[in-house]
Chain A
Amino acid sequence: MTDAVVDPVSIPVPRSARPDRLLRRLWRHRSSRLGLILLGLILALVVLGPWLTGGSPSSDMAYQNLAASLQPPSAAHWLGTDQLGRDELVRLVLGARYTIIIGLGAVATGVLVGLPLGALSGFYRGWVDLVVQRLVDVVLAFPSFLLALALVAVLGPGLRNLIIGVALTSFPRFVRLIRAQVLSVRERPFVEAALALGVSRGRILWRHVLPNSMTPVIVQTPLELGSAVLTAAGLGFLGLGVRQPTPEWGTMLGESRDFIFSNPALVTYPGLCIVLVILAVNLLGDGARDVLDPRLRSRIKIPRRRRT
């Protein structure tokens, strides 16, 4: 009764891992379902934020009302007000936009840079591979948060630089992921068949190899979003994020430090928001690992423990 361990490299894209089916299987898994729900709620907040908060004066970023600063929760301000008298809940809801958009922007940039580099590196091998791999090694040699920190420090804060800084830390992982995938896919028979038919190499890479290499990228993307949000909010916390008075969770958390003795609630909320994002992607990632890892999957036929 030994379980055969399927070598994941020999089955780069299991049929069951096709994105549409993947989503269904993730939904069936306990922890990834929770992750999907949480992530869905957060994304809904990003989309609907301005509409939800439209009626409040605090939705205007420049709004201040020092007379109403640091109020406890009330019917008018469910989570109270901050040091400038702005409604905390409104700013948290609007903050979702900035935090998530920085994260998404960084991941998108990371994919846009990492995908072609990894694909070329894995498909053409040779000196391209050598150069790209050295580059990736060097970038990964830095503690990633510090690299983003240094870059933003040098370029100056702001949305664009924040995205560049965070993307710099995530693209090498995409390069490695895609390269490993392309390396195995290019050995599959249909690539040889296409070559024999006289299809150009560039076309093979674009039309055949890449589409068959995307599943791990899709799985990795939410995890990268989590790590991007973590990094971006960390920079915001240090005062290197978006400029005042933009409501971004990390920045809000950083500003709340001054009130840790007098008004600890302000520390709690933005931190909790960040945690929910990271928690969502980690739960999703745990589910994806269970669903995709053939060793774990074969365990389905092994039984839950029953004690008598």
Chain B
Amino acid sequence: MLSYVARRLLIAVPTLFGVATVSFLLMRIIPGDPARVMAGPQATAEDVERLRQQLGLGGSIWSQYVEYITRLMQGDLMVSARTGTPVIDEIAARAQATVTLAVLAIVVAVVVGCTLGVLAALRRDSVVDLILSGVSVFGVSMPVYWVGLLLIMLFSVQLGWLPAGGSDSWASVVLPTVALSFFAVGFISRQTRSAMVETMELDFIRSVRAKGISRSALVIRHGLRNAALPIMTVVGLQFGQLLGGAVLTETIFAWPGLGRLLIDSISARDFATVQGTVFVFAAALILVNLLTDILYAYADPRIRYD
């Protein structure tokens, strides 16, 4: 188990390094002089030069790269050209809102998606299955940005039940969570259905049934517990989609998280913040995938002990 975790960590490190390199390159492919672009049209030559130094854009590309990586390892993600504060502080101030939204959405998606998927699998080829399959294929076909707008139209404009945006009360978290989990519910229920169908056809299910235990114990303790392994894998793989969706969701619902920070920085041509935010998103995804792998190994004794 320990060697397995160590191996996974060893794979994650070069990937993280590669991700850092890509975000470094991101700011170097800006057409024209990046410092000039970011400083804005009113900036003087001195302003531009000062910004160039702050953002590590002076000197040869190699010295820039060395400086970038060195500063990154010290937790320094450059300075926002818009506000002058360190990007890492901007991110820290917003991270919690995004984490809250993402965690809520994934919990909702897993609970609802697994329930629907199990129901469909147990009633395979029935009317229930047919309806659930139809609903879930719609679920995975609805772009989060449209779902968000439809939810606002229905629950804020028509019914007036829930706020259309902001983060003032607990009620305002409902619509963003639903919007963001919408795709994942459909996705997870489809995966759960097929994993459950496959699992319930395995030999051991029959021998467990021969023990005479209750139907629910059979389905949950043996069926779902084993189906959870493939489900976990695909859910982990889909987490990147959720993060991308979070950016759009935050924009639609004016949710003050990293996604909003990213979009605002793009409009303000504050590329240092764009670069830093994208790096943090990618690092988060790597971390989640690492955790999924470890969790998977923990859940599957065949990996845990080998």
A residues apposed to B, CB below 8 Å: 31, 134-135, 137-147, 149-151, 153-156, 230, 233-234, 237-238, 240, 250, 253-254, 256-257, 260-261, 264, 267-268, 271, 274-275, 278-279, 282-283, 286, 295, 304-305
Contact assessment for B240 and A154 in the assembled complex, using a CB-CB cutoff below 8 Å: no
Q: Contacts of B144 on A, CB cut-off 8 Å?
A: 234
Interface residues on B, range: 35 or more
Contacts A138-B15, A154-B27 given; indicate if A146 touches B248 (C-beta within 8 A): no
Contacts A142-B240, A155-B31, A260-B152 given; indicate if A134 touches B18 (C-beta within 8 A): yes
Q: Contacts of B248 on A, CB cut-off 8 Å?
A: 145, 234, 237-238
Contact assessment for A279 and B150 in the assembled complex, using a CB-CB cutoff below 8 Å: no
Q: What mask results when residues 265 to 306 of chain B are scored 1 for a CB within 8 Å of chain A, else 0? A: 010000100110010011001100000000000000000000
Contact assessment for B143 and A144 in the assembled complex, using a CB-CB cutoff below 8 Å: no
Contact assessment for A234 and B143 in the assembled complex, using a CB-CB cutoff below 8 Å: yes
12 contacts between A and B (CB under 8 A): A146-B243, A150-B275, A154-B27, A154-B274, A233-B143, A237-B145, A253-B145, A260-B149, A275-B138, A278-B143, A279-B138, A305-B124
Contact assessment for A274 and B19 in the assembled complex, using a CB-CB cutoff below 8 Å: no
Contact assessment for A146 and B125 in the assembled complex, using a CB-CB cutoff below 8 Å: no
Instruction: Give chain A's interface secondary structure class.
Output: helix
User: Which of B15, B29, B31, B274 touches A141 (beta carbons < 8 Å)?
Assistant: B15
B112 interfacial contact with A, CB 8 Å: no
Contact assessment for A154 and B271 in the assembled complex, using a CB-CB cutoff below 8 Å: yes
Contacts A138-B15, A146-B243 given; indicate if A267 touches B149 (C-beta within 8 A): yes
Q: Contacts of A283 on B, CB cut-off 8 Å?
A: 137
Question: Shortest CB–CB separation between residue A271 and chain B, in angstroms?
Answer: 4
Contacts A260-B152, A274-B146, A275-B146 given; indicate if A153 touches B241 (C-beta within 8 A): no
Nearest CB to that of B239 among chain A residues? A143
Q: Contacts of B142 on A, CB cut-off 8 Å?
A: 275, 278
Task: Give A141 to B13 CA distance when docked, in angstroms.
Answer: 12
Most buried by B among A137, A141, A238, A305: A141
Nearest CB to that of A168 among chain B residues? B22
Contacts A234-B248, A238-B251, A267-B153 given; indicate if A142 touches B19 (C-beta within 8 A): yes
Q: Contacts of B48 on A, CB cut-off 8 Å?
A: none
Contact assessment for A282 and B141 in the assembled complex, using a CB-CB cutoff below 8 Å: yes
Instruction: Give chain B's interface secondary structure class.
Output: helix
Task: Give A278 to B15 CA distance when docked, in angstroms.
Answer: 31
User: Which of A150, A254, A282 touches B26 (beta carbons < 8 Å)?
Assistant: A150
Contacts A230-B143, A253-B146 given; indicate if A150 touches B274 (C-beta within 8 A): yes
Nearest CB to that of A261 among chain B residues? B157
B247 interfacial contact with A, CB 8 Å: yes
B263 interfacial contact with A, CB 8 Å: yes
Contact assessment for A143 and B143 in the assembled complex, using a CB-CB cutoff below 8 Å: no
B220 interfacial contact with A, CB 8 Å: no
Nearest CB to that of B129 among chain A residues? A305
Q: Contacts of B15 on A, CB cut-off 8 Å?
A: 137-138, 141
Task: Give A31 to B190 CA distance when docked, in angstroms.
Answer: 15
Q: Contacts of A139 on B, CB cut-off 8 Å?
A: 22
Contact assessment for B241 and A145 in the assembled complex, using a CB-CB cutoff below 8 Å: yes
Q: What mask results when residues 234 to 258 of chain B are scored 1 for a CB within 8 Å of chain A, else 0? A: 0000001101110110011000000
Question: Shortest CB–CB separation between residue A71 and chain B, in angstroms?
Answer: 19
Contact assessment for A138 and B18 in the assembled complex, using a CB-CB cutoff below 8 Å: yes
Give residues of chain B (132-170) contacting chain A, Cβ–Cβ below 8 Å: 137-138, 140-146, 149-150, 152-153, 157
Contact assessment for A279 and B251 in the assembled complex, using a CB-CB cutoff below 8 Å: no
Task: Give A234 to B125 CA distance when docked, in angstroms.
Answer: 35
Contact assessment for A146 and B247 in the assembled complex, using a CB-CB cutoff below 8 Å: yes
Task: Give A137 to B289 CA distance when docked, in angstroms.
Answer: 12
Task: Give A146 to B98 CA distance when docked, in angstroms.
Answer: 14
B126 interfacial contact with A, CB 8 Å: yes
Nearest CB to that of B142 among chain A residues? A275
